């Protein structure tokens, strides 16, 4: 039977796994103070960890923590026996061991790269590690291994991640807006990409022939208009030429009239000739009359 706290721990670990990639077997890094307190309260650490984490776990302790338990002899024999159960986590302080809490903090690092769960009884260390998001922490309390609530830094980061997940659409929108802002360049690239594709080129060839025809058809009216304009201009020129010819023809009749004027002169000459003839006839008549009178 799982208690409410166990179910709460399970949910908490699930959130850590979703948010920060925490995976089983959970790697629990224990410090010296935790071993001391567990020994003091006579806890079976393996059993307590199984209750708390309800899954496979691996337990680590740094060399500095072991040295601290031995050096100061603060840890009882039981505490040292508890520490011996754990795997040794190598740290860079083998030749010059440092305080257990400082060593744990350095092993965790600024980002808890190896996804350690910290089991520490040192409040100062836990307070320091709360600033790093994604670190589950446990400590001994009331003959139990208790898991801390999520730190504010962890909650904030998870909220940001959730917001980012929810905001993927907004990101896409922003990307789309950016695409639209730079949209004039991207379609050109697409056209360049479509170019080399043979199928698309064939389709374009199939599609393009009607287009030039359409263009021709579209251009043909313009050409017709130009032709009409040319024809009209030619017609105008022809009309002008005709008018000029007509004007010339109109001027010629004047000449003809002048010739006609000359013609009546000829007529007058004929009249004169007739008159001369008449005079001749008259003279002949006069001569005849004269002869008759004689
Ligand atoms: Zn160390």
pLDDT of residue 114: 94
pLDDT of residue 254: 47
Q: Are 143 and 127 in contact (CB under 8 A)?
A: no
Q: What Cα–Cα distance (Å) separates residue 39 from each residue in 69, 143, 146, 166, 210?
A: 12, 10, 16, 47, 91
Using only the alpha carbons of the chain, give its radius of gyration: 61
| Average confidence (pLDDT) over 220-241 | 70
Q: Are 140 and 34 in contact (CB under 8 A)?
A: yes
pLDDT of residue 193: 58
Weakest-pLDDT range from 26-35, 44-53, 148-157, 240-249: 240-249
Of 255 and 274, the structure prediction assigns the larger pLDDT to: 274
Give distance in angstroms: CA of 68 to centre of ligand 1.
10
Listed in sequence order, the residues at least 6 apart from 15 whose beta carbon sits closer than 8 Å to its beta carbon are 150, 158
| Average confidence (pLDDT) over 109-131 | 95
What's the pLDDT tens digit per position in 269-292? 555 556 555 555 555 655 665 566
Weakest-pLDDT range from 21-25, 56-60, 106-110, 179-183: 179-183
| Average confidence (pLDDT) over 105-120 | 95
Give distance in angstroms: CA of 98 to centre of ligand 1.
6
| Average confidence (pLDDT) over 156-184 | 70
Give distance in angstroms: CA of 91 to centre of ligand 1.
4
- Domain limits, the chain: 4-150
Q: What percentage of residues in the chain have a pLDDT greater than 90?
A: 49
pLDDT of residue 223: 61
Give distance in angstroms: CA of 99 to centre of ligand 1.
8
Give distance in angstroms: CA of 42 to centre of ligand 1.
26
Give distance in angstroms: CA of 73 to centre of ligand 1.
18
Please tell me the distance from the alpha carbon of residue 164 to that of residue 161, in angstroms, as a whole number: 5
What's the pLDDT tens digit per position in 74-87? 558 889 999 999 99
pLDDT surpassing 60 at residue 158: yes
pLDDT of residue 257: 45
> Nearest-CA neighbor of 17 among 182, 199, 158?
158
What's the pLDDT tens digit per position in 217-226? 555 556 666 7
Please tell me the distance from the alpha carbon of residue 62 to that of residue 120, in angstroms, as a whole number: 12
Q: Are 149 and 158 in contact (CB under 8 A)?
A: no
Q: What CATH superfamily classification does 4-150 receive? A: 5'-nuclease (3.40.50.1010)
pLDDT of residue 225: 66
User: What SS3 state is found at 27?
Assistant: strand
Give distance in angstroms: CA of 78 to centre of ligand 1.
22
> Nearest-CA neighbor of 102 among 154, 31, 28?
31
Please tell me the distance from the alpha carbon of residue 283 to that of residue 181, in angstroms, as a whole number: 122
How many Å from the N-terminal Cα to the C-terminal Cα in the chain? 193
Please tell me the distance from the alpha carbon of residue 165 to that of residue 160, in angstroms, as a whole number: 9
Most confident of 37-41, 69-73, 241-245: 37-41
Give distance in angstroms: CA of 63 to centre of ligand 1.
6
């Amino acid at each position: 039977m799982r208690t409410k706290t166990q179910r709460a721990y399970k949910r908490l670990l699930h959130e850590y796994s979703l948010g920060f990639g925490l995976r089983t077997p959970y790697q629990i890094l224990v410090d010296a103070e935790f071993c001391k307190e567990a020994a003091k309260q006579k806890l079976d650490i393996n059993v307590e960890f199984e209750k708390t984490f309800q899954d496979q776990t691996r337990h680590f302790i740094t060399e500095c923590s072991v040295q601290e338990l031995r050096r100061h002899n603060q840890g009882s024999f039981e505490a040292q026996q508890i520490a011996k159960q754990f795997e040794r986590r190598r740290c860079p302080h083998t030749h010059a061991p440092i305080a257990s809490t400082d060593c744990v903090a350095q092993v965790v690092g600024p980002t808890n790269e190896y996804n350690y769960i910290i089991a520490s009884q040192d409040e100062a260390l836990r307070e320091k590690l709360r600033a790093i998001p994604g670190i589950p922490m446990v400590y001994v309390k009331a003959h139990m291994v208790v898991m801390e609530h999520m730190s504010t830094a962890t909650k904030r980061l998870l909220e940001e991640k959730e917001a980012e997940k929810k905001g993927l659409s907004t990101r896409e929108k922003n990307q789309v807006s950016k695409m639209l802002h730079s949209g004039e360049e991207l379609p050109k690239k697409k056209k360049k990409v479509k170019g080399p594709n043979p199928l698309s080129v064939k389709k374009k060839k199939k599609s393009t022939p009607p287009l030039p025809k359409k263009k021709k058809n579209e251009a043909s009216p313009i050409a017709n208009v130009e032709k009409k304009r040319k024809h009209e201009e030619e017609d105008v020129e022809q009309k002008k030429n005709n008018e000029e010819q007509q004007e010339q023809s109109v001027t010629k009749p004047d000449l003809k009239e002048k010739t006609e004027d000359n013609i009546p002169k000829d007529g007058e000459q004929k009249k004169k000739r007739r008159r001369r003839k008449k005079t001749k006839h008259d003279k002949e008549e006069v001569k005849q009359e004269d002869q008759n009178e004689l």
